[in-house]
Every structure is written in C-alpha cells, then in structure tokens.
Structure 1
Amino acid sequence: MSLEKGLASKYIYITFVIAAYWIISILTVFVNKALLSSKAVNLDAPLFVTWFQCIVSTVICIILRKLSQWFPGYIEIADGSPFKKDVLKKVLPLSLLFTGMIATNNLCLKYVGVAFYYIGRSLTTVFNVVFTYILLGQKTSFKCIMCCAVIVSGFWLGVDQEHVAGSLSILGTFFGVLGSLSLSLYSIRLKQTLPAVNNDIWLLSYYNNVYSIIIFIPLMIISGEPTIVYNYEKLGYPLFWGAMTIGGVFGFAIGYFTALQIKVTSPLTHNVSGTAKACAQTVLATYWFNEEKSFLWWISNIIVLTASAFYARIRQLDLSKEYKMERQQLKV
C-alpha cells in the first residue's frame, strides 16, 4: 500500500507541475500581449517592457539568493557576482543572445496575434538542425530533416493563410523568425556556457538578466523609447506598474516551471507537453479574441505541431541509440 501511495503522490505531483507549466506559460503570453499591444496599456515601447521584466527577474533572483542564505537546505541558490572579469568573459556572449531572444519574441508578439504566435516562432527546430551542423559539425538523421521540411511547409502555409485573411504582419513574422534563430543559437551556446557556472541554471539566469538590463539601455535609446515612456500618460499609475510587475513575475516563473517540468519528467515529455500547450493556447486565443480562421490555417497549425512532436520523438530515439552504442564501445 505504501508503494502505491508513493506512486500516486508522484503522479499527482507530476500532474501538478505540468498543469502549472501550462497555466503559467499561457498566462505569460496573454499578459505580455496585453502589455505590448493592448489599447488599455497603449504604450509603444516593447523594449522598455522587456527591460523592466529583466529588472523584475533580477530582483527575484537576488531575493531568492538571500533566502537561500537565511534558510539553507530549503532554498538552494548559488552565490556569484556578474561583475567579475572571468564571469563577464564567459557569460556575456550568451547574454547577448538571451537579450536578442527575449526582445525578438516580445516584438513578434506585439505585431502578431496570440493565435499566430506559435506558428511565427515555429522554425526554432529547423534552425537547431542547421546551426548544430554548421557550428558543431553534428549531423541529423534523414527522418529529422524530413520533419524539419514539414515544419517549414506548415510555417509557409500559416503565413499564406494570414496573408489571405489580411491579418499578416510582415514585421511580426520577421521578428518571429529572428526569435527562432536567436533561440536556436542560445540553446547551442547554453550547453557550452553552463559548465562555467557549475551547471547552475538559476545563477546563469541571474547573470543573463543583469547583463540584459545593461544591453537594453542603448537599444532603447536608439529606438527612441525613453522619450515615449517619459511622455506616457499612465506613467504615474500604480495599476500600470502593477501590470508590468506581474508580467515580470510571470516571465521569471515560466523559466522556473520549464526547468521543473524537465526535471520531474524528461526533455521529450517537456517537448510533447509544450506542443500540446501550444495547441491549447492557439484554440484559446481564437476564442478569447473572437477570431475566425480558415480550414487551411488550422491545417498549418496541425502540420507544425505534429511534425514538431515527431521530431522530438525521433531525436529522442536517435540519442538513445547513440548512448547504447557508446556504452557497448566502453564495455569492449
């Protein structure tokens, strides 16, 4: 009975984590969409919104680090300074990619609808295959390449249907492709940078957000956003800053629950969960914003979602075979 209770508790916990990931992830997208392009907020300063979210994430990291010092054993956050020369040299290249990634993601979301957001950023897998080969010299199986080809076809069909419906944002799609590209490069660089911070994801998150706060300042100045923010009529409204803070908290929370979901399940389960979540998010967005989509538009989503899920599964099987071969070679 105790074993059955233990398994039941484990499955309940896993279910809770997956549900929390879905809820936080979907809410993060909807909250950011409201901050970036809703008439209620009406602030044309996407870089400023992203910059403030980095500040909120940094403050949360600092608070968690202090709590880990006060309550050791309950919260474990490593101590570290982002202003050390060796840390700056090793982490800054990754932080540049991190800044580009979150900036282009939010810029994409500003110009496209939530329903199209997943399709707009669906080329990450394709870029992963391309850059893994170019930068690391690692080849991908033919089946995975075919999945990538199907993803590209689904992406183009989705773009075409947005164009037919008259709702295509070329700028938003462009930022979506850039977001996919930067996320791919970030993922590759992440594996190379983690050993420099003792594989501590939260310490790296702290460094990334601190550096991003600094990197965003010249970008905001070049884009003229300080003037826009200074003349913003709701700048003194507590409700506005409350909404901005909530957006920052959600941004930090999605990073935590993403890592937690991978930890309690597996990378494959995380990919499948993320794909299913994207499907639910798309359906919810069309209902919430009262959008009518064509049959081919829905087909494009199904193509991308299915091909992404197949890619994750095939890649997992390929890695499993490689691991078994390495084990056999070691035994010999």
Structure 2
Amino acid sequence: MRDTQQDLCSRYIKIFVVVACYWVVSIATVFVNKALLSSATVALEAPLFITWFQCIVSFTICSTLSLTGGIPGIFTFPKGTPWKIDVMRKVLPLSLMFTLMIATNNLCLKYVGVSFYYIGRSLTTVFNVIFSWVLIGQLTSLRCILCCLVIIFGFYLGVDQENLLGSFSLVGTIYGVLGSLMLSLYSIYTKKVLPHVNQQVWLLSYYNNAYSILLFIPLIVVNGELTILANYTNFHDPYFWFQMLIGGLCGFAIGYFTSLQIKVTSPLTHNISGTAKACAQTVIATQWYSETKNLLWWTSNVIVLCSSALYARFKQIEMEQNARKSNNEEKSLV
C-alpha cells in the first residue's frame, strides 16, 4: 500500500514538474520572440530572417540528436534523414504549411502586444471545425459549433475593445487569423503525414525544420528583408547573437515540452493546460508592459478561454463515447 502511494505521489510530482516546465518555457518563448521581433535592443525589421534562424537552431539540435540517438537517460531521438527524395515528396507539402504557420505567428506577434496575442490567434478551433468538414467530411456536434460561435464573438469583442483602447493592429490581427488558419491545416494534415515517419513526432519536427530553412529563403527575399539585412549594423554584436540563440533554443524547447506534457498527461489535459497558460500569459503581459485594460477587454479573454476549454471537453467526451461504441460493436460481433 505504501509503495502504491509512493508511486502515485511520484507520478503526480512528475506531472506537476512537466506542466510547470511547459508553462515556463511556453510563456518565455512568447516574450523572447516579442523582444526579438519588436524591441529597440535588437532593432531588426526582418521577422522572417529571425524565424529562419530559429529553424536553423532547431534543425541543428535535431540533426545532432538524430546522430547520437538522443540524450541517455532523458529521451531517445529517432534516426532519419530529411534528404531522401521519397521523404521529401511526402513531407514537403506539410512543411510548407509549417513554414507559413510559424511565419504568420511571428508576424502577428511583431505587430500585436503579448496580451492580445492569444485573442489574435484564437480562431484555430473554428478553422479546425470548418476544415475537418470541408476536407475530410467530419461532422461536428451542435454544442461544439455553439462553442465556436461564442469564440468568434469573443474574438470580435476583443478586437473591438483593442481598437477602442488605441492599441489595435489590423496587420497583426490579419496575420493572427492567417496563423490560426495555417495551424488548423497543419494539425489536420499532420495526421496524414505521421504514418510516413513511423508516427514519430520528433522526426517530423526534424524534417519540417530542415525544409523550412529552404522554404524561408524566397519568403525573405519577397518580403524585402535582404536590403534590411545588408544595412543592419549589429551583426558584429555578440549580445545580438546571444538573443537570437536563446530564441532558437526556446523554439526547440517548446516543441519538446509540448510533446512531453501530452505524453505524461493526455491531449485533453494539454489543451486545458494550454488554455490556462494563455490566461496567465495575458495577465503577466499586462503587468510586464504596464498595460491598462477595461472590463470588456478582459471579458473577451474570458469568453474565448472558457469556450475553448469547453470545446476541448466536449470533443473529449465525444471521442470517449465513440470509443465505447466501437468496443461494444466489436464485442457483439464476437
């Protein structure tokens, strides 16, 4: 009995530590990226170049871990190479979505405040419902659709209040909506591509970062960042590269702790944790940047947060019901 209690206590401690690490790393990543994209200390108006460099850092880490097999005693990393034609043919379309997703996310963060960032990207759930129906014919229950309608209302209210407060950015909000759209598409097509990499999430991340390094180059050119980079004077500053390296490490770490949190808990718990983390992130941002928000602005955040959490719970219940129904049908056939 005592051993069982100790095992249970040990498990809860592990879950607490993992969730805490996810919160710290995720919130830190947003603030670090905001500093890189908008701060006067960096002063580099080249958001796609900054994102491209982060992909290089993640690719370098993944490539090293793939060669070594991971970190002994901590986790194993699958072996593989992204430079096989067959792999490129199957994964490259998804990598294009991945590239556009992280590009639009960082562009959104560049133009909007951290406190508004969650609202700006809150339509992912809505796009998930739309694309699941359009692309794979998956119907959604009425109560989940109602949650999506409430999320849209919360998004509208947040945009309206941000505009009244004088801190609204149309460009940033458009990038936020595009980021939500690309994240939704990426999530749906990830399920189709994972079987081609033996269901290895880390291997898919490795390949995505490898191809993104190439895909970002024409985007950087089209965005006119080559001229900005040519005239930038801080490339010789070690502190600049230190900040860039920290941003890249944070980008890799958030991928690791996201996967780890799902592994030690569940997808539902991860969604709830992410929702709660977004709430904490918003509160921290308003304090950190000394922002004053009115009651309706906070109401919009509560509406989106609660509706998103309720949607996740409804989907979890439906998945459990479908699983029980399938098991009962299999037993009846036997």
Residue 331 (str. 1) matches residue 331 (str. 2) = yes
- Name the structure 2 match of 1:59: 60
Question: 2-side partners of 1:72 and 1:237: how far apart?
Answer: 35
* Unmatched tracts of structure 2, length 5 or more: none
Question: 2-side partners of 1:210 and 1:254: how far apart?
Answer: 17
Contact 2:69 2:79 (C-alpha < 8 Å) held by counterparts: no
- Name the structure 1 match of 2:46: 45
Q: 1:41 corresponds to which letter in structure 2?
A: V
Question: 2-side partners of 1:147 and 1:319: how far apart?
Answer: 17
- How far the C-alpha of 1:231 sits from its partner, in A, is 1.3
- How far the C-alpha of 1:76 sits from its partner, in A, is 2.0
- How far the C-alpha of 1:304 sits from its partner, in A, is 0.1
- How far the C-alpha of 1:194 sits from its partner, in A, is 0.2
Contact 1:36 1:110 (C-alpha < 8 Å) held by counterparts: yes
- Name the structure 2 match of 1:106: 106
Question: 2-side partners of 1:107 and 1:66: how far apart?
Answer: 33
What secondary structure does 1:119 align onto? helix
- Name the structure 2 match of 1:81: 81
Contact 1:64 1:75 (C-alpha < 8 Å) held by counterparts: no
* Unmatched tracts of structure 1, length 5 or more: none
- Name the structure 1 match of 2:168: 168
Tell me the TM-score normalised to structure 1 length: 0.98
Contact 1:68 1:74 (C-alpha < 8 Å) held by counterparts: no
Question: 1-side partners of 2:168 and 2:53: how far apart?
Answer: 29
Superposed, 1:1-332 pairs within 5 Å as 1-68=2-69, 75-332=75-332
Question: 2-side partners of 1:292 and 1:91: how far apart?
Answer: 45
What secondary structure does 1:41 align onto? coil
Alignment length, in residue pairs? 331
- How far the C-alpha of 1:230 sits from its partner, in A, is 2.1
- How far the C-alpha of 1:74 sits from its partner, in A, is 5.8
Question: 1-side partners of 2:123 and 2:272: how far apart?
Answer: 16
- How far the C-alpha of 1:6 sits from its partner, in A, is 1.0
Question: 1-side partners of 2:51 and 2:271: how far apart?
Answer: 25
- How far the C-alpha of 1:80 sits from its partner, in A, is 1.5
Contact 1:115 1:281 (C-alpha < 8 Å) held by counterparts: yes
- How far the C-alpha of 1:186 sits from its partner, in A, is 0.1
**Root mean square deviation, CA, Å:** 1.1
Question: 2-side partners of 1:264 and 1:169: how far apart?
Answer: 38
Contact 2:66 2:80 (C-alpha < 8 Å) held by counterparts: no
Question: 1-side partners of 2:47 and 2:65: how far apart?
Answer: 27
Note the alpha carbon deviations across 1:6-50, whole angstroms, 9 max, x for none. Answer: 111110000000000000000000000000011111110000000
Structure 1 pair 160–72 and aligned structure 2 pair: CA distance change class (3 A): closer
Question: 1-side partners of 2:161 and 2:80: how far apart?
Answer: 49
- How far the C-alpha of 1:66 sits from its partner, in A, is 2.6
Question: 2-side partners of 1:85 and 1:238: how far apart?
Answer: 38
Question: 2-side partners of 1:3 and 1:230: how far apart?
Answer: 63
Contact 1:67 1:75 (C-alpha < 8 Å) held by counterparts: no
Question: 2-side partners of 1:218 and 1:148: how far apart?
Answer: 35
What secondary structure does 1:199 align onto? coil
Note the alpha carbon deviations across 1:286-305, whole angstroms, 9 max, x for none. Answer: 00000000110000000000
Question: 2-side partners of 1:287 and 1:75: how far apart?
Answer: 37
Contact 1:118 1:278 (C-alpha < 8 Å) held by counterparts: yes
Question: 1-side partners of 2:209 and 2:41: how far apart?
Answer: 28
Q: 2:25 corresponds to which letter in structure 1?
A: I
Tell me the TM-score normalised to structure 2 length: 0.97
Question: 1-side partners of 2:238 and 2:255: how far apart?
Answer: 26
Contact 1:53 1:248 (C-alpha < 8 Å) held by counterparts: yes
- How far the C-alpha of 1:330 sits from its partner, in A, is 1.0
- How far the C-alpha of 1:68 sits from its partner, in A, is 1.5
- How far the C-alpha of 1:63 sits from its partner, in A, is 1.7
Question: 2-side partners of 1:73 and 1:286: how far apart?
Answer: 40
- How far the C-alpha of 1:73 sits from its partner, in A, is 7.2
Question: 1-side partners of 2:77 and 2:287: how far apart?
Answer: 40
Question: 1-side partners of 2:35 and 2:327: how far apart?
Answer: 51
Question: 2-side partners of 1:226 and 1:326: how far apart?
Answer: 56
Question: 1-side partners of 2:78 and 2:5: how far apart?
Answer: 36
Question: 2-side partners of 1:208 and 1:143: how far apart?
Answer: 35
Structure 1 pair 125–247 and aligned structure 2 pair: CA distance change class (3 A): same
